[in-house]
Amino acid sequence: MGRVSNYIQSKVKSGEALHFTLIDPDKATSIGWLRKRASTAANSGTDAFLVGGSIGVSKS
């Protein structure tokens, strides 16, 4: 297993909560905006970042 998988599994096995922060690149207005959000999330204790969102998806 990899380091990330081991980390997630150990927290789950010990009954701890995990917090994942989703970054939607479509919402990032600048690299500074992204750095600020990522820094705030990391300092607040997020366990992992997910990058994705609704890019390319339309309601029609």
Residue 5: both structure tokens together: 């998988």
* For range 44-55, the mean pLDDT: 88
Three-class DSSP category at 10:
helix
11-42 pLDDT, tens digit each: 999 999 999 999 988 888 899 999 999 999 99
Rounded CA-CA distance 38/21 in Å is 9
For residue 56, is pLDDT > 80? no
Is residue 25 a contact partner of residue 50, using CB atoms and an 8 Å limit?
Answer: no
Rounded CA-CA distance 22/54 in Å is 11
